[in-house]
Amino acid sequence: MATRTDQVVGFGLVVFSLVIFIYYTIWVIILPFIDSDHIIHKYFLPREYAIIIPLAAGLFLLLFVGLFITYVMLKNRKPAKKTN
């Protein structure tokens, strides 16, 4: 059973993910259809970053997953047996 702290942290992560999803969806899907001189454009980064930021995040994720797998494999490596 999850403790109260686990539930609060999980709820916080879900809310954070939902906010990022809504922001990104508005930024990428809705914003191109709004006039460029509208006031809402000042709350969003330029559209080039809509590709750069997820690409960089994905590369860092792959880097850390690779480093973790390498660390686990090296840590659990058994020494080679010597034969006489």
pLDDT in tens, 25-59: 999 999 999 998 999 999 999 989 999 999 999 99
24's CB contacts (< 8 A; 6+ apart) are 50
The pLDDT assigned to 84 comes to: 66
Instruction: For residues 77 and 61, give the distance between their C-alpha atoms in angstroms, rounded to a whole number.
Output: 24
Taking the model in full, what pTM does it have? 0.69
Rounded distance, CA 23 to CA 19, Å? 6
